[in-house]
Structure 1
């Protein structure tokens, strides 16, 4: 959520961002660990359109997390009907962090039969659906199931010189852990524990790349006879010839394992840290590539001519600094609360709208902790939650744009404070709420025309041509085609797009803003289009 809100605030064209999210909301599903959604720094209208795509999931078992980083995408050519697939296996979370991460992209097409090597991918997605705090709507469940079947049959194009692709879905029923047996190992992981290193490098020579504090906290015997490196603090600084504004990377977050045996090497990358938790109960994803040792071996990363080696420094043990007060108890409490199915029931009242937040399950029984809930859209209006009792909170005097299923939950005691965003099930959502939210963002004729162009599929370049210098009159013709022609083409080829536009125009007119927000002459033009829409609907109904 912080990522989405940041994208809208930082974009040069927030209307384009919002329209992109709005149009794709029914085709994107995001599964995330309940209790791990970062609280945005401020409210963002974009989040209203994100609501249906976010699915919180339960922890797979106590003390462990749902932790995979995977993007699975399916594309369909509207002309030929051909389907293509793209898979991104990453170490990076969906956040604003700019750390040193790793990503593997695989492209492919669905084949004619299921392939056993792809089964862990489908099993992982299906397991995510089973772990969901709130059951998915039937249409979304069916779409994910169809994607799973395409992934089962996928024929991937391997990277150059790679000999086979193997997926490992850790923590998924029936999943098999990878085999790390070899004579030489490289572990790249921001977090390491003695048991994790023993699991990922059970024998042979070991090289480790990690964070300074993680290596310092390891017992000396865990690194005895091993090479240990950290990423240089200067590695993220842009070069002198770099363009202004180039982002600076900082902090290692990549997870990569290289195992050599004989003349062969295997590379595993993905979400799993070198810890007991990652291989002992978390849900994780690793993808394994194999090939020759010369091409895929450790020297390709740590050899004298390797680019990766240039950003590393040898680890020199330092005194371990005193850690911050442990808030692990509060973090676990927040995750447990976020995993409680909650409903947010909307009703009308004299002062506007009211939301009643409740649950059947009780908040965990704890003492000495203050737990509160507040709507994401109404910061500072916190309502206490009673430990040992079901969730029960009322938020009154709400405007239409304040209605949201996103709830900020905060737990604090004498040791610290933890917070997260919880997604409740919205009941009684006013049918015109999203139209109202959209209309609030379109506060000039220029923004209205940009939205119209984006909605008609002309793209951001055409929309960006709309400026505020002429009251919105300058783009009545775009690329030689008039707005009337564009609307008529949409009426014939994509009438559902005009339904979206009709709701927006109706909302603007209902708010009494048509003179201020609709470009000169648009009202008359829209009257003609509406007559054509009515005639078309009447003809279809005959």
Structure 2
């Protein structure tokens, strides 16, 4: 777990154990890249470790993954920290029901990075996997740390170690800014109950269960969080730090303290803030270089958060989302840290010396103060942009849609928001390119085709007084007038012929691997008898019956897809009547079987 050269692919955390299926997963994150969320179900279901463009090259393949994952993936993200995606894709409409903006109760950031996956064995018994990370749900290349552990609920007895995980899950409906459905609320409460009845085993070399420490969910703390109240040695690693948290940590030990952070963070600390630290380090330049073995780009930059405290013969590690800042330690932010304890003598647990000598020291170098990169004017501009970002995220904005002529719709951002002097705000729907951006005024109106309607709205905040980077975010806004059949139109924009529909149907029946075995088709079908003559359509009934008998759940996404497409006149050309009649026979038989 603690070896710096160990690599964990994030999607591995969601792949089921042998003979298990993924039932649902809840993800919490501070920041979110929507293209990462698009690629995640694809990578999990196809076991693909390819890059984003490879994943998105065939929208039918991606759409299959999204349809198969359905409502299984739910993401809770800080309301003002969704990134503007690089591509303007109608497929983002498929994510809207899964993305839930949340707000920290005490005015800080919603900052935990916790993944809770529920798997089912063939008998329906659940297994939970929890991953507590320092990484957000993005394609970041920084050095991060993750702890993953599995466990099964046992009886009715609650685990004191897991109580904090249940607390986080139970809080999610409450901190959601737009509310969640009754069904999702019930699912979260049930998942919290199972988590609280599960002891999650520590990794090899550590003793007992993993303990979960949520911060910022209850009443504001009167004093900062203290990981422990005693210790002989201390190692603290985080990209961000300030004097408040550093003073808390130095009070734990009398001497022998090591701090690892970013150069710019350390440069910005007040005089004397580092006097109590015997060793202060930053990442060495070599840590960001390309590897010689051709395995691809190495991580660049520090993003891991960890605290190690040696006490007696033992060492306790705290890992998770909390930086060494007042916002994290005092409960202004919502955070999640986990702790695990083991003997310093064990190689797997690792005392501080062993951890540093086993490779971490090789990617570090002593900190040497340098001139801050940002001058005071740029810092003031950055602070003003951050204040504007938070105000914008909390502003009463909404999207109003109205049908126009033919397939065109008006998509309008309305609501009151006036940026402070010196700040400009541009906005546009994320399903259009940034060349469609315009100044935020109320109302701001675009004319778009129906498949481009979206609840995701891009904003670019710029400071006109001083230089510095723009702040770019996506907000998921409440909507009015969004048509019920919008998803069907998005589907039709991708599945625009009987040929492509049959290819997609066979992928749903045979699994995603079936997509690689089918010709792409030229999209020239007209809806006659092509589906019978092409791609082996004569065996379609047999395939449907086989899927229904072996795994009826595979027909659920097909039922949803056909209903979506048959809801429109154009969709009925893609799913011809003859094909629909075959499906109806199978569906009726399946419904009778389920009722029995």
TM-score category by the smaller chain?
A: 0.7 to 0.9
Matched-pair contact (CA < 8 Å) for 1:377–1:403: yes
Correspondence for 1:278:
328
Alignment match, 1:497: 557
Counterparts in 2 of 1:11-160, with a 5 A limit?
A: 11=55, 12-62=57-107, 64-77=108-121, 79-112=122-155, 113-160=157-204
Q: Residue in 2 aligned with 1:252?
A: 302
Tell me by how many angstroms 1:177 deviates: 4.8
1:439 aligns with 2:439: no
1:42-99 deviations in Å (ceiling 9; x for gaps)? 212331111011111124334x21111110111123x301100000000001111111
404, 409, 424: which one pairs with 2:454?
404
Q: Does 1:223 align with 2:283?
A: no
Structure 1's 363 and 207: CA in aligned 2 closer, same or farther, altered over 3 A? same
| Structure 1 pair 181–13 and aligned structure 2 pair: CA distance change class (3 A) | farther
How far apart, CA to CA, are the structure 2 residues paired with 1:3 and 1:497?
22
1:328 to 1:90, Cα distance in 2 relative to 1, 3 A: same
Residue 206 of structure 1 deviates from its aligned partner by: 0.6
d(CA) in 1 for partners of 2:119, 2:593: 34
SS in 2 for 1:223: coil
Q: Closer, same or farther in 2 for the Cα pair 1:411/1:321, shift >3 Å?
A: closer
Residues 536 and 294 from structure 1, CA distance in 2 versus in 1: closer, same or farther, beyond 3 angstroms?
closer
Could you give the per-residue CA deviations for residues 250-269 of structure 1, whole angstroms, max 9, x where no partner exists? 00110010001111110000
Partner of 2:481: 428
Sort the Cα spacing of 1:513 and 1:328 in 2 relative to 1 into closer, same or farther, 3 A.
farther
1:452 to 2:513 alignment: no
Aligned to 2:206: 162
Measure the CA separation in 1 of the matches of 2:270 and 2:389: 31
Aligned length: 519
Aligned counterparts of 2:290 and 2:262: Cα–Cα separation in 1: 21
SS of residue in 1 equivalent to 2:169:
helix
Equivalence map 1:124-523=2 (5 Å) = 124-164=168-208, 165-173=210-218, 177-179=226-228, 181-202=230-251, 203=253, 204-219=255-270, 221-224=272-275, 226-243=278-295, 246-280=296-330, 281-295=332-346, 296-303=350-357, 306-323=358-375, 324-325=378-379, 326-350=381-405, 352-359=408-415, 362-363=416-417, 366-379=420-433, 380-382=435-437, 384-385=439-440, 392-393=442-443, 395-414=445-464, 415=466, 417-443=470-496, 447-456=500-509, 458-468=510-520, 476=536, 482-490=539-547, 493-494=552-553, 495-503=555-563, 506=566, 510=570, 514=574
On the 8 A contact 1:446/1:467 being kept in 2, the answer is: no
Tell me if structure 1 keeps the 8 A contact 2:239–2:304: yes
* Residue deviations 1:110-143 (CA, integer Å, cap 9, x gap): 1212222212112122333212111111111111
- Give the secondary-structure state (helix, strand or coil) at the position aligned to 1:29: strand
Question: Cα distance 1:335–1:446, how it changes in 2: closer, same or farther (>3 A)?
Answer: farther
Please report how far the alpha carbon of residue 100 of structure 1 lies from its aligned counterpart in structure 2 after TM superposition: 0.4
The 10-residue stretch of structure 1 (246-255 or 426-435) with the greater mean CA deviation from structure 2: 426-435
What root-mean-square deviation, in Å, do the aligned CA atoms of Structure 1 and Structure 2 show? 3.2
Contact 2:315 2:343 in 1 (8 A): yes
Instruction: Encode CA deviations 1:324-380: one digit per residue, 9 max, x unaligned.
Output: 453222222222221235443332233632234445xx4367334333432222344
Separation in structure 2 between the aligned mates of residue 446 and residue 107 of structure 1, nearest angstrom: 43
Q: Name whichever of 207-216 and 438-447 sits farther off.
A: 438-447
Spell out, residue by residue over 1:199-245, the C-alpha distance to the aligned partner (whole angstroms, 9 max, x if none): 223232111122222233335633335112222222344543334xx
Contact 2:411 2:446 in 1 (8 A): yes
- Counterpart of 1:389 in structure 2 is none
SS in 1 for 2:304: coil
Indicate the SS of the match to 2:272: helix
Please say if residues 449 and 463 of structure 1, whose CA atoms lie closer than 8 Å, have aligned partners that are also in contact: no
- Looking at structure 1, the residues matched to 463 and 137 of structure 2 have their Cα atoms a distance apart, in angstroms, of 29
Please report how far the alpha carbon of residue 396 of structure 1 lies from its aligned counterpart in structure 2 after TM superposition.
4.8
TM-score, length-normalised on structure 2? 0.79
Instruction: Give how far 1:320 is off.
Output: 3.0
Superposed displacement of residue 451, structure 1 = 2.0
> Structure 2: which 5+ residue stretches go unaligned?
1-32, 40-51, 524-530
The alpha-carbon distance between structure 1 residues 169 and 538, as it changes in their structure 2 partners (threshold 3 A), is closer
SS at match of 1:147: helix
C-alpha separation between the residues in 2 aligned to 1:154 and 1:367?
53
Structure 2 distance, partners of 1:213, 1:286, is: 24
Residues 443/4 of structure 1: CA separation in 2 closer, same or farther (3 Å cut): farther
Q: Is contact 2:266–2:369 with CA below 8 Å preserved after alignment?
A: yes
